[in-house]
């Protein structure tokens, strides 16, 4: 039996209490259902992967695009979904709060708010203003009465990988403003990860997997609570398609040899079709 939104949110909250879990990032309904089929406990959307599916670059999707996407993802799987909600699609804290309220209505179990400005640059909001925005998101969740995890992100390390100290200062401030989980995509060095874990404790830290040689066990040993992959899975898929298509353009179909078997994919998605039919039986038309 499908879980309710409240049950998904309770499950997601429990995942943040102890241990370390992987939060893979699908980019559409099909990839979300495949990841659920493989046994992951929760999923997270990602802005870049979704943008590419509709032929746009990252950060070129609208709030309404993302709300529709989140609604589809949450309805398609029986897992909690964490939303990549970019910078809240607004600068003003009150507008961020209003958009967070709309995101909650999609059924998400968590959502992240970045400190990246929305003017098309890579600049960050000044820390006091960024804190106001996190606090506004926290208050919007409180007013909703829903148990939604608030993830506060600082994007500074993506522009300056050496700015670990300022990133930690921002995460600590966001935690004090009411964030449930903290996230600084771009942290790579193990000692820096451990320092972040200590700084935001007892709140959990999310780390973006960037080094293929680092294992989940190593992240768990550092005290990381959750590990996500951002747009990496989407890039893997696009990379495979690009390589195969370029070989076809050059006159060879050899790149198709590594394709997933159609019968395996049909088996995966056929289960969802069968479940949908059982929930919505279609009667034969009268004769």
CATH number at residue 158: 3.20.20.60
Distance of CA 69 to the CA centre of its chain: 12
Query: By C-alpha distance, which of 43, 30, 67, 49 is closest to 226?
Result: 43
Query: By C-alpha distance, which of 121, 25, 116, 107 is closest to 71?
Result: 107
Is 236 inside a domain boundary?
no
Nearest-angstrom CA–CA distance, 84 and 122 = 17
Do 82 and 131 reside in the same domain of the chain? yes
Do 194 and 250 reside in the same domain of the chain? no
Q: Is 222 helix (H, G, I), strand (E, B) or coil?
A: coil
Is 113 inside a domain boundary?
yes
Is 284 inside a domain boundary?
no
For tokens 């829903």, the residue is 146
User: Where among 210, 230, 250 does a domain terminate?
Assistant: 230
pLDDT for the residue numbered 276:
66
Is 13 inside a domain boundary?
yes
Do 225 and 246 reside in the same domain of the chain? no
pLDDT for the residue numbered 278:
65
Is 235 inside a domain boundary?
no
Is 88 inside a domain boundary?
yes
Structural domain count, the chain:
2
In this model, does residue 194 exceed pLDDT 80? Answer: yes
Nearest-angstrom CA–CA distance, 256 and 254 = 5
Do 256 and 191 reside in the same domain of the chain? no
Q: Where are the alpha helices (DSSP H) in 177-261?
A: 190-200, 216-221, 232-249
In this model, does residue 249 exceed pLDDT 80? Answer: yes
Domain extent, residue 185, equals: 5-230
Do 118 and 146 reside in the same domain of the chain? yes
Do 104 and 246 reside in the same domain of the chain? no
Do 171 and 256 reside in the same domain of the chain? no
pLDDT digits (tens, 9 = 90+) for 88-102: 999 999 999 999 999
pLDDT for the residue numbered 287:
44
pLDDT average, residue stretch 187-200: 97
The fraction of the chain above a pLDDT of 90, given in percent, is: 92
**How many Cβ atoms sit within 10 Å of the Cβ of residue 139?**
16
pLDDT for the residue numbered 279:
59
Whether pTM > 0.85 for this model: the answer is yes
Is the model more confident about 55 or about 120? 55
């Amino acid at each position: 039996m499908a879980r309710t939104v409240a049950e998904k949110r309770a499950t997601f909250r429990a995942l943040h209490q102890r241990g370390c879990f992987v939060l893979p990032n699908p980019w559409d309904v099909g990839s979300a259902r495949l990841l659920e089929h493989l046994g992951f406990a929760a999923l997270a959307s990602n802005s870049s992967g979704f943008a590419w599916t509709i032929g746009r670059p990252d950060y070129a999707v609208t709030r309404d695009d993302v709300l529709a996407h989140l609604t589809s993802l949450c309805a398609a799987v029986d897992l909690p979904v964490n939303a990549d909600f970019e910078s809240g699609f607004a600068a003003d804290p009150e507008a961020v709060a209003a958009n967070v309220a709309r995101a909650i209505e999609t059924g998400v179990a968590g959502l992240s708010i970045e400190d990246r400005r929305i003017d098309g640059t890579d600049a960050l909001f000044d820390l006091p203003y960024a804190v106001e925005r996190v606090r506004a998101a926290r208050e919007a969740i409180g007013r909703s009465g829903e148990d939604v995890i608030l993830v506060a992100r600082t994007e500074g390390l993506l522009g300056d990988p050496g700015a670990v100290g300022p990133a930690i200062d921002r995460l600590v401030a966001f935690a004090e403003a009411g964030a449930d989980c903290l996230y600084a995509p771009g942290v790579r060095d193990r000692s820096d990860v451990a320092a972040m874990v200590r700084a935001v404790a007892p709140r959990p830290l999310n780390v973006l997997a960037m080094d293929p040689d680092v294992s989940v066990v190593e992240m768990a040993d550092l005290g990381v609570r959750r590990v996500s992959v951002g747009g990496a899975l989407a890039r893997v898929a696009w990379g495979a398609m690009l390589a195969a298509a370029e070989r076809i353009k050059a006159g060879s179909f050899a790149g198709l040899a590594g394709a997933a078997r159609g019968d395996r994919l049909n088996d995966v998605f056929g289960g969802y079709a069968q479940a949908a039919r059982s929930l919505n039986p279609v009667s034969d038309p009268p004769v």
